[in-house]
Structure 1
Amino acid sequence: MLTIAMPKGRIFEEALELLRKAGYALPPEFAESRKLMIDIPEEDMRFILAKPMDVVTYVEHGVADLGIAGKDVLLEEERDVYELLDLHISQCRLAVAGLPNSRLNDIAPRVATKYPNIASSYFREQGEQVEIIPLNGSIELAPLIGLADRIVDIVSTGRTLKENGLVEFETIANVTSRLIVNPVSYRMKDEKIDELVERLTAVIAS
C-alpha cells in the first residue's frame, strides 16, 4: 500500500482532481470526509490528511511514502526528502511586502514572517542585516502596528495585502505544490511510485 500525506484545503482539492484525471478511483465523498486517515483498498492507497508544515515531517520519518507539499515549505524546512514532480497546482509566490513609500530602518530593520530561514537567506543575499521576527498568523498586521518594516509571506492574488494597505516590493520565489517521497520508500516501492509519477506527468503535460 502507498501512503500519501496531503495538506487539507485548496491544495488537497486540486491534488484530488489531478489524481482522478490520472485514473485513480477516489470516491466522490472523499473530500468531505472528516477522517484524518482514509484507506482506498481498490487502489491500494492510504491517505493521511495533515497540516501543510506536517506533511514533510511525515514523509521524512517514513510514516508516509509520499507527500504533496508547497515549494515554500520545502525551501523553509530543508528536510531529507526527494522532490519528484512539480504538480503545477496552488500557484502563488513568496514576496516581500510593507507599507507604501516606506524604507527599511537603517539602524535595526525588522522583518516579520513565518518563513524565518527563507527571509534570513534572502536579505543576507541582498546585503541587508535584519532582525527576523517569527509570526504564525496575520503577518500583514506587523507593519501596521510598527512591529516590523517588512513582511515575507505567501501572496496569491494580492488582495489581502491591498485590503490592509500594503504593497508588494519583491518576489523571492514562485511557489507551486510538489510531489515528494521518502528516500527509503522510493527504493522499496519504486515501481508503484514511478507509475504514479508517470500518470501524473501525463495529466500535467496535457
Structure 2
Amino acid sequence: MRVLVIGTEDLAGEHVVKLLAEKQHEAVALASSENQEEGLKKLGASDVLRTDRNDFSSAFTGCDAVIYLGGASPRTGESKPILIDHELVLDSIKSAKEYGVRLFVLLSALRDDETDTSGSGTTGAKQMPEELLRKEGIAYTIIRPSAPVDKPGKGRVEVAKTLAFEKGEIPKEDLASVLVEALEADSVINKTITVTSGETPIRQALTEL
C-alpha cells in the first residue's frame, strides 16, 4: 500500500514512517528541509517530497491511503492536548478526494472543546475537519488519542468509541502503531475512536472494537 504521511515533524510521524517501511508499505513523506529529507529516507520512506504547506497536492498522486498528523500543533508541547490546524487538514482531505485516495486516517484531538491560545485562528476545535471527512465519501478512521508522551511504547492500548478517559497518556510509538494498524483494520473503517495506554495488544484492541 502506498501511504502518504502528513506531519512527519510532529508527534509520532517519524515512528509512522518507520513502521510503514517495516510492514512493507510504501511511505511517502513531505520534507521542508534537506536534513529532514535525509532523516526520513533513513527511516525507510520510499519517497520524500520537498515542498511547503501551501502547495503539496501533487504528493497525493498514486497514494492508496493518507495518515494525517500534520495539524497537530507543536505549540502544545509534551503531555498537552493536540490542536488541529483547520486549513491544512481541510486542504488535505479535499486533495485526497481529488486524487482518488481510498482511506484517510486522521489523528484528531480527544476533546471537543480544545482551543488555541496563540491567536493565530488556524488551530482549535476539531469538529470542522472531522465533519468534512465524514461527508467527502472517502473511507476514514478518526483517532482521538489521550496526551502523546515521549516514553517507550508498550504495544498495548485501550480503545473506545466514546470519550472514556480525559487525563490519560499514550507513548508516541504506540500511537504510531495504532495509526498504521488502522490501515488494515476493517473494524474501524468509517469510525471515530479514542485511544490511550492500556493492557490489550494494539491489533487486538482495534479488531475487537
Rg: which structure is higher?
Answer: 1
- Asked if these proteins are the same fold (TM beyond 0.5), I'd say no
Q: Shorter-chain TM-score category?
A: 0.3 to 0.5
* TM-score normalised according to structure 1 size: 0.34
* TM-score normalised according to structure 2 size: 0.33
